[in-house]
Chain A
Amino acid sequence: MLLLGGGKGVFVAMTTNPGSSAIIEVGELTKRFGDVTAVDHVSFQVERGELFGFLGPNGAGKTTTINMLIGLARPDSGAIRIGGLNCRKNPKAAQHLIGVVPDESNLYPELTGFDNLCFCAALYGMGKPARIARATQLLRDFDLSKAAHRKFGGYSKGMKRKLAIAAGIVHQPQILFLDEPTTGIDVASARNIRQLLADLHRSGTTIFLTTHYIEEAERLCDRIAFIVNGRIVKIDQVASLLKPVQDRYATIVNGTGLNPSFLGELSASFGGLEFHLHSQDRIRVESSMPIHIGPIVKFLEDKNVAVTEARRMHLSLEDVFVQITGIEADAMKLEKMKAAA
C-alpha cells in the first residue's frame, strides 16, 4: 500500500505491487469542469520502460488525464507520482523527466526545424554544444536533415509530427507522453512514426500513448487502458485483452434483403453460432468453433437474400474494445478524422 499526498491534507491509498518498478502512479484522479466530470476516480500505474496505451473515444478524458499528468491542468482530487515525485503537490516537480508530444503541433512556425529543436533543448538547460549536437542527430535520425533550415511553418503534416516527436525527446526524457501521434497524417508518415516509437520503446523510454487507432495500440503497446466517460473500464496486457477473442471465429456475410427477424431464425437453426445484424446488408456470425458458411448462405438465399460476400474475419483488439465499451471503433475513428480535418 502506497500513500500518496492527494493535496489539501487528503491522502489517497494506492495498492502497489511491492516489486513494482512503476514510473507513473495515478490514484483516484478526478477532474470536473462545472457539472461535467471529465476524469472520474482514475487509477493506474505505468511500469518503467513500458509502452502504455490509453484508449477511448473523443471526450472520454484522455487529454484531460494527460494534461494533469504533465502539469497543464490541476486535478480536483487524487494523486499523481512520476518518477517517485509527488506531482499533485508540485506539478513542475517531474517536468524534467518527461517529454510531451501533444495532438497538435506546438512548435514555432517562424523558427526553422533546427532552431526549434535547439530552443526546446535550451528549455531543459542543455548547453549550446550539446543542443547543436542533439538537434543535428535527431534531424538525421528522423530523416529531416534536408529540411533542417526550413521554417517549421512550411513543413508537411508528417514532417511536423516527426519534428514534434523529436522536440519531445530532445532532452532524452525517461517518459514520453504522446497524444494521438498519427492522427491526420498520411499512411507512409504514420508507419514511419510507429517505427520511431517502437525504436524509442526498445531503447528503454517509457511511453504513454493515447490514440484512436486501436490497431496501432494493439501493434505497439504492452498494456492498454480503455477509458470511457472519464472512467477506466478495462486495463490489461494486450495479450490478456486479446484472449477472449483469440479462440473465436467470426464471419461477415453481406447481402441485400437482410431482415432483423432472420436473426432469431438463424440462431434457432444453427446452434452454437451467434448472429449480429451489423447494418442493413451485413450479418456477423461468431462462434468458438470453425464456421461452415455454406448452410448459412443457403438459408439466407432461401429467404430471398442476395448474398454477395462471405468472408472470415480476424478478431482483434478492436472487437475487444467494442465488447467492453459498446462503442464502434469505426465510428470513433471517423469522429477523429472529422475533427482532424
Chain B
Amino acid sequence: MKIWIAFWNIVLKDMRAYYLKPPNISWGLIFPIAWTAMFFIKSGRGLDDVLGLLPGVVAISILFGTTSMLAVTITFEKKGRSFERLLLAPISLELLMLAKTGGAILFGVVNALVPVAIACFLSDLSRVAWGAVVPAVVLIAIASTFMGLFIAVSVSEIFEAQTFSNFFRFPMIFLCGLFFPIDALPMLLKPLAYVLPLTYGVDILKGGFQGSNIMPLSLDFVGICLFCMVLFYFSLKNIHKKWIS
C-alpha cells in the first residue's frame, strides 16, 4: 500500500509539474490536429480515407508527444538533483521508473485520442477493431516513453536529450511503414524496419483501423512488448551503471 502511495504521487506530481502545463496541453492538442490536417490535405482523397490516415497520425502523435517529454523531464530533474530525492525513496528502482514513465504514457495516450476524436466527426468508426487499437495505442505509448527513458539515461544535458530523441524519431517514422510500405524499402533498409518498435505498433493500428496489417497481429504484439521490455531493462541497467555507480 505504502509503495503505491509513492508511485501514484510521483505520477501525479509529474502530471501537474510537466504534462498538464498550458504549453504542453496546447502542444498535445495542436500537434495531433496539425498532423491530421497535414496528412488529410496531402492525401487529397477526401473524407473516405480518414481511416487510412489514422494509423499514421496516431502513431506520430504518441511518438512525438512522449519521447522527448520524458527524456527532457528526467534530464532536467537529474541536472537539478531532484531525481536524487526519488532514488532515495524506499521504493524499488523498477517501480520508481514505472512511476516516472507513467505520466508520459498517459500523456501519449491522450495525444492519440485527439486524432481519433476528430475522426469520429469525419468518418464512420464502427468497423474499427478497438480491441487491437486500444492496446496498440497503450503499447506504442509505453515503447515511445521507454525510448525517452533510454535516451534520458544516456545523456546529461537537456539539449542532448532533444537531439538524441530526433536522431531516433525521424528515421523511425520513415522506416516503420507509415510513409513507404516496408516491402518497398531498399533491401539494406528492410532489416532496420524490423528492429523498430514503431513498425509493430503501426502494423497493429493499420490492422485495427483498416484490416491492412502485413504481419500477424499476435507477432506485432509480441514484437512491441519485447521492445518495451528490452528498452526498460537496458534503461535500468544504465541507471545502475551511470547514476548509482
Q: Do residues B244 and A72 form an inter-chain contact, with CB atoms below 8 A? A: yes
B122 contacts chain A at the CB level, 8 A cutoff:
no
A-B contact count (CB 8 A): 69
Q: Which residues of A contact B6 (CB under 8 A)?
A: 122-125
Q: Do residues B245 and A74 form an inter-chain contact, with CB atoms below 8 A? A: yes
Report Cα–Cα, A151/B27, bound state, in Å.
24
Q: Which residues of B contact A106 (CB under 8 A)?
A: 80-82, 84-85
Smallest distance from the beta carbon of B3 to chain A beta carbons, Å? Answer: 7
Smallest distance from the beta carbon of A107 to chain B beta carbons, Å? Answer: 6
Choice from B1, B13, B81, B92 contacting A102 with Cβ under 8 Å: B81
A271 contacts chain B at the CB level, 8 A cutoff:
no
A70 contacts chain B at the CB level, 8 A cutoff:
yes
CB-defined interface of B1-17 with A at 8 Å, one 1/0 digit per residue?
11101100110010001
B2 (CB) vs chain A CBs: closest residue: A125
Smallest distance from the beta carbon of B185 to chain A beta carbons, Å? Answer: 44
B87 contacts chain A at the CB level, 8 A cutoff:
yes
CB-defined interface of B167-183 with A at 8 Å, one 1/0 digit per residue?
00000000000000000
Choice from A91, A96, A122, A123 contacting B244 with Cβ under 8 Å: A91
Q: Do residues B81 and A124 form an inter-chain contact, with CB atoms below 8 A? A: no
Q: Which residues of B contact A102 (CB under 8 A)?
A: 81, 84
Report Cα–Cα, A91/B13, bound state, in Å.
25
Report Cα–Cα, A100/B85, bound state, in Å.
8
A123 (CB) vs chain B CBs: closest residue: B89
Q: Which residues of A contact B184 (CB under 8 A)?
A: none
Q: Do residues B5 and A122 form an inter-chain contact, with CB atoms below 8 A? A: yes
Q: Which residues of B contact A73 (CB under 8 A)?
A: 244-245
B8 (CB) vs chain A CBs: closest residue: A122
In B81-133, the 8 Å CB interface with A consists of: 81-82, 84-93
A103 (CB) vs chain B CBs: closest residue: B81
21 contacts between A and B (CB under 8 A): A71-B88, A71-B244, A73-B245, A74-B245, A91-B244, A92-B90, A92-B92, A102-B84, A106-B80, A108-B17, A108-B82, A110-B17, A111-B13, A122-B5, A122-B6, A122-B9, A123-B9, A123-B90, A124-B6, A125-B1, A125-B3
Residues of B participating in the A interface, judged by any CB pair closer than 8 Å: 1-3, 5-6, 9-10, 13, 17, 80-82, 84-93, 244-245
Residues of A participating in the B interface, judged by any CB pair closer than 8 Å: 70-74, 91-92, 95-96, 98, 100, 102, 104-111, 119-120, 122-127, 167
The 6 A-B pairs with the shortest beta carbon distances in the complex, nearest first, are A125-B2, A122-B9, A123-B89, A96-B90, A106-B81, A95-B90
